[in-house]
Structure 1
Amino acid sequence: MSAIAPDVSRSQATWPMYLPYLVPMLISSAATVLVFTNSSVVGWGFVAFLVALQVLEPILGEDHETYEWKAPQIFVRMMQFYSVGTVLTFVGFLWVMAHAHNGADFLGIAAGLQAVTGFDMLAAHADDGWVQYFVAMLLFSITSSLGTVAIGHELCHRLHEPLSVFLSRLMGVFTMFSYYAVEHPYGHHLTAATPHDSSTALRGEGIMAFTKRTLKQDYEIVWEIEKSRLENLGLPAWSFNNRLIRGFLVELLVIVSVAAITGFLGLALFAIGVIQAHLGYKAGVYIQHYGLVRDPDEPIEIKHSWGCTYKVTNWLTDGIGRHADHHDVPEREFWNLVPHLEGPQLPAGYMKMMGLSRNKKKWEDAMVPLLIEWDENHASPAEKLLALEANEKSGHPDLLAHARRQRAELEEEGLLPIAQTA
């Protein structure tokens, strides 16, 4: 896969530089240990670690370098190890809720663990209550969500590695993301920064409105992709050949299994975990292309994604912050991605920006000036018209004022269609 390496000057990476990319592995490993052992030490350590990541994101700052890695296969093994931790965490959730349901030792895990290590898992969970149930739910939700849209995102692009693709789809099943492995490479990568993309938020659109609008759109896009693919093969859309239908069937099997193993309480908490995972996913994609516009007939360029070069962001998400280069060369492994500082950049790391997105006013205070700058310095003539339309629909005072200036400038330059000058 060396042919996908960028043709840019690269610094030689040292062995210690591999260590920060262990962050996802530490999360899934800690989640696995916590859900099985109920250890308060591990639990508070897990919380402290997540808080530390948020604190360190702005402190450690950005990294604008691209590196030559001597042993990149280490990164692949890290992602696969993370996947194993995600599977074990989900199994741990099933065990906790099955034990709460009827006192069962699901799969004989407690007995096996005690026989091998001497650890009494039943005693550790003897006093489980709502706190432990919610912790188990959050752990499987967090690891599966991160496993689908960060770690799994990278794995699903490794089409030359069946194991990587399988692990990506497996992690997605736990939180009902089976559509993602189709929608992302065959939908989003073709339609980004257009209204046809379910991962592009519109100007003036808050995160909850975006989530509500695009949850259904995700499935509609995958249905159209599969319908078109199967029609080209001379096969019916309503068949087992349809990957969306297959995904639904697998997810139905998961739901039935969760209900049978854990009862109503386990199923209810599973549903909450799934919802939380999807909300987290939408918060992530909301910031990646927010407000950017593109002529659907023109190719995706660097300017159609918000870049982020914060170190912690890219350690945690396996390089997703270098999003523009990923769209430019989807097959390029995350460790080879180029920062492209000439493109639009987020003003902070992903964790802070995802937090800001929960408050529409604070989000727009940060992003509206950047959108205006994008219109003035990045937009093509066709995109200036699309940006004008987006600004006029946004409802934001600053974008509306900008739209009036845009309209006057476009009329003066003769770029505004006659129909829009009336």
Structure 2
Amino acid sequence: MNFGRKLGYFTAFILPALVITGYYLGGWWNFITVVDVFLILPLIDQSVGIDTTNVPKEKVKIISNELYYRFVTYVWTWFQLAFVGWGFYVIAFGNISTWFAWAGFILSFALVTGGVGITVAHELGHKKSSLERLYSKILLMTVSYIHFYIEHNRGHHVHVATPEDPATARKNETFYTFWIRSVFGGYTHAWKLENERLRKKGKHPLNIGNNMIWFTLLPLIFCGTITTGFSLWTGQFIWEIPVFFFGQSFVAFTLLELVNYVEHYGIQRKEVSPGRYERVTPIHSWNASHLISNFFLFQLQRHSDHHANAIKRYQVLDHYDESPQLPAGYPTMIIIALVPPLWFGMMNRRLEHWHTEHQNLKAA
């Protein structure tokens, strides 16, 4: 893989640079990252177009094992921790005095911790390495969504494109209805999965070995410790820190749920017998092989191959022509998803075509 493509994965660091720049310029400049992600990036993405090239099969193993690609995600993990620390510092000692500066800062901050950070956590959480899995949990802690580590790997990837999966949007379901089911249903299901794991080991779910207890408490402990430390330092309670932390967390995991909504909207696997479904293949997720946004998102948009081969590393994910294709990259599609009539008008026709071509299901 050429040097230019390798360097492309570092473009994600442009976003935190914009957040920092916007903060120090002040005022409405805090929205500069939002403008970049949802206006400038989509325009560049559409003009550059899609990239359907795949890594040659004889090179997949070599490129999969290259340390460089893991190094990028490791650097991001440590960088995000430092970035969140900087966020706490400027909230405690900086000057964000207007509501629009607050809104711009939190939205922009979440585009980093959620838009990129959760993407990196998703990549690392699928790997066998204990270090990578630890990094995944650390990143998810910074957005108060560590249960995603359990639900995504042991829930979503098992039940995707079936009625049992809370993270698969139904046809004609708005994002807002989906958000409620996916957020609360995913959290509840993660508890169920973890309780079942402990029962199989002969342990009671309510014990110190239940990961969901820790995954629920750790963001509270993290934020509480930071708030206490800064409050003692300044000699006054800094209530803005928990507002900032949980505010950016809310926006970050909402971005994740927007991506979930886009990735799986309306797709259904055939039920081959009661409660059993055909295996997941590259036709069971929406795909987007837009070159530029895939650099920012570590090829997450090649989602069809990811679900068919979850263990594959991001740098060797394949494009499949037979996968259902999104008309634009995620930055564009998640904005459209926020406007249900626009979303349904754009996607239902494509979904019906998918049903006809691949599932032979009667359109609802």
Could you say which TM-score interval applies, normalised by the shorter chain?
Answer: 0.7 to 0.9
Instruction: Report the equivalent of 2:125.
Output: 156
Q: CA deviation at 1:163?
A: 2.6
Q: Distance in 1 between matches of 2:307 and 2:196?
A: 23
Alignment check: 8 A CA contact 1:89 1:140 kept: no
Instruction: Report the equivalent of 2:235.
Output: none
**Count of residues paired in the alignment:** 343
| Residues 267-318 of structure 1: CA deviation (Å, up to 9, x unaligned) | 2232321221122111111010100112243211222101111112211111
The verdict on how the C-alpha distance between 1:347 and 1:89 changes in structure 2, with shifts beyond 3 A counting, is same
Q: Distance in 2 between matches of 1:243 and 1:364?
A: 38
- 1:28 and 2:16 are equivalent in the alignment: yes
Aligned residue among 153, 167, 188 for 1:185: 153
Q: CA deviation at 1:266?
A: 2.5
Q: Distance in 2 between matches of 1:230 and 1:367?
A: 41
The residue type equivalent to 2:218 in the other structure is V
Q: CA deviation at 1:172?
A: 0.8
Instruction: Report the equivalent of 1:64.
Output: 52
Instruction: State the TM-score, normalizing by the size of structure 1.
Output: 0.75
Q: Distance in 2 between matches of 1:208 and 1:215?
A: 11
Q: Distance in 1 between matches of 2:347 and 2:33?
A: 32
Alignment check: 8 A CA contact 1:193 1:200 kept: yes
Structure with bigger gyration radius:
1
Aligned residue among 223, 226, 239 for 1:255: 223
1:303 is paired with a residue whose SS is coil
The verdict on how the C-alpha distance between 1:49 and 1:141 changes in structure 2, with shifts beyond 3 A counting, is closer
Q: Distance in 2 between matches of 1:61 and 1:288?
A: 19
Q: CA deviation at 1:322?
A: 1.1
How is 1:257-406 mapped onto 2 (pairs within 5 angstroms)?
257-260=225-228, 261=230, 263-294=238-269, 295=271, 296-379=276-359, 384=361, 388=362, 402-403=363-364
The verdict on how the C-alpha distance between 1:73 and 1:217 changes in structure 2, with shifts beyond 3 A counting, is same
Alignment check: 8 A CA contact 2:227 2:241 kept: yes
Q: Distance in 1 between matches of 2:211 and 2:91?
A: 30
Aligned residue among 43, 54, 58 for 1:55: 43
- 1:87 and 2:55 are equivalent in the alignment: no
Aligned residue among 180, 196, 199 for 1:212: 180
How is 1:26-175 mapped onto 2 (pairs within 5 angstroms)?
26-31=14-19, 33-34=20-21, 38-39=24-25, 46=33, 49-50=36-37, 51-67=39-55, 68=59, 72-99=66-93, 125=94, 127-130=95-98, 133-160=102-129, 162-175=130-143
1:195 is paired with a residue whose SS is coil
| Residues 54-89 of structure 1: CA deviation (Å, up to 9, x unaligned) | 210110100000125876322211112122221112
Greater relative contact order, per chain length (Cα 8 Å cut-off, separation 6+):
2
Q: Distance in 2 between matches of 1:249 and 1:140?
A: 23
The residue type equivalent to 1:281 in the other structure is L
Instruction: Report the equivalent of 1:419.
Output: none
The residue type equivalent to 2:78 in the other structure is V
Deviates more, 1:261-270 or 1:226-235: 261-270
Q: Distance in 2 between matches of 1:308 and 1:252?
A: 36
Q: CA deviation at 1:49?
A: 4.6
Q: Distance in 2 between matches of 1:89 and 1:141?
A: 11
The verdict on how the C-alpha distance between 1:43 and 1:356 changes in structure 2, with shifts beyond 3 A counting, is closer
The verdict on how the C-alpha distance between 1:155 and 1:28 changes in structure 2, with shifts beyond 3 A counting, is farther
Q: Distance in 2 between matches of 1:198 and 1:300?
A: 17
The verdict on how the C-alpha distance between 1:293 and 1:48 changes in structure 2, with shifts beyond 3 A counting, is closer
Alignment check: 8 A CA contact 1:134 1:269 kept: no
Instruction: State the TM-score, normalizing by the size of structure 2.
Output: 0.86
Q: Distance in 2 between matches of 1:214 and 1:46?
A: 27
Q: CA deviation at 1:265?
A: 2.5
Q: Distance in 1 between matches of 2:257 and 2:31?
A: 27
- Name structure 2 gaps, 5 residues minimum: 232-237
Q: Distance in 1 between matches of 2:42 and 2:268?
A: 30
Overall identity of the aligned pairs, in %: 21
Alignment check: 8 A CA contact 2:126 2:133 kept: yes
| Residues 310-341 of structure 1: CA deviation (Å, up to 9, x unaligned) | 11221111111111111111111111111111
Alignment check: 8 A CA contact 2:116 2:297 kept: no
The residue type equivalent to 2:54 in the other structure is T
Root mean square deviation of aligned Cα: 2.4
Q: CA deviation at 1:356?
A: 0.8
The verdict on how the C-alpha distance between 1:146 and 1:80 changes in structure 2, with shifts beyond 3 A counting, is farther
- Name structure 1 gaps, 5 residues minimum: 1-12, 100-124, 389-401, 404-422
2:256 is paired with a residue whose SS is helix
The verdict on how the C-alpha distance between 1:29 and 1:84 changes in structure 2, with shifts beyond 3 A counting, is farther
Q: CA deviation at 1:191?
A: 0.5
Q: CA deviation at 1:211?
A: 0.3
Alignment check: 8 A CA contact 2:30 2:101 kept: no
